[in-house]
Amino acid sequence: MKCKNCNKVVGETHSYCPHCGQKMGLGRLNFKQLLKDLWVSLTNTDQGILRLIKHLTYRPGKVAREYVSGRRKSYFNPFNYLLLTVAIALYFILQFETVALDYSKIEPDNKELLQFAFKYFNIFILLMWPIHGSLIWLFFRRRQTNYVENLALTAYLSGQTMLYYILALALFTIFPSLLGPLGTIIGLLISIWYTIAILQFYQTKSFWSILKIVFIITLTNIISQGIIYSTFHIYRTLDI
Ligand SMILES: [Zn+2]
């Protein structure tokens, strides 16, 4: 048998190519195969996304730490995870838009801003991701991690936050009158989860680290709001 990926001759008994690792005896690409691959990537006990979501919920920083330390095959790739969850979150946000704009008694000017932020939500999240990674790297640079490792950490964290947003949107849709207080509680819970994640990733519990993380969260919020405001004003001036 010949491997379809690297063309080397492989014995009949192999189910994976010993040269490149590709599965042997792959059929033609068709819809059934595509669905099968999708199902495997969701439920696979090794690299499955459901397993990753579960672990990111209760030990986020440890997952990211294990991933950058070399356990690549055990977890779904952080960068794919971020792209996937941002796409899913964008879909739900666009669905939710009408509910949010109907219930919140906001001025027309802010309404336009909110619509803008919803519409380009995915771009803002992906734009913030490297900035966010830089901040963590900068504040924890004495702890011997490189920038890309921090990008993997923030990809996992931002990706998981997208799922929390979707849950929050579901709650807001069910209880629209509680938008304000629910928003505060969810924001606080996410911040606590996020703080624990970075403490786990950097294997520290020091008060000084907690202070730094609170500062990073504040700074990230200020920068992301700044980006949204300034691009909104440019967008309006350009009148696209
Ligand atoms: Zn091969």
Q: Give Rg (Cα) of the chain.
A: 21
From the list 83, 56, 84, the residue with the least C-alpha distance to 197 is 56
For position 222, what pLDDT does the model report? 95
For ion ligand 1, residues whose CB falls within 5 Å? 3, 5-6, 17, 19-20, 22
What is the pLDDT confidence band of residue 156, given thresholds at 50, 70 and 90?
very high
Residue 57 pLDDT exceeds 70: yes
For position 98, what pLDDT does the model report? 74
Instruction: Kindly give the distance from the C-alpha atom of residue 14 to the centroid of ligand 1, in angstroms, as a whole number.
Output: 11
| Structure tokens that stand for 238 in this block | 């350009």
* Residue 23, SS3 per DSSP: strand
Residue 40 pLDDT exceeds 80: no
Residue 227 pLDDT exceeds 90: yes
CB under 8 Å to 210, separation ≥6 — which residues? 195, 199
C-alpha–C-alpha distance, residues 141 and 162, integer Å: 26
Q: Which residues pair with 90 in a beta bridge?
A: none
Instruction: Kindly give the distance from the C-alpha atom of residue 132 to the centroid of ligand 1, in angstroms, as a whole number.
Output: 39
Mean pLDDT across 77-95? 89
* Residue 216, SS3 per DSSP: helix
Ranges of each domain in the chain: 77-238
For position 14, what pLDDT does the model report? 86
Look at 96 and 134; give whichever has higher pLDDT: 134
Is the pTM higher than 0.85? The answer reads: no
What is the pLDDT confidence band of residue 51, given thresholds at 50, 70 and 90?
confident
Q: Which residue has the tokens 């950058």?
A: 68
Look at 239 and 117; give whichever has higher pLDDT: 117
Q: Which residue has the tokens 């696979």?
A: 44
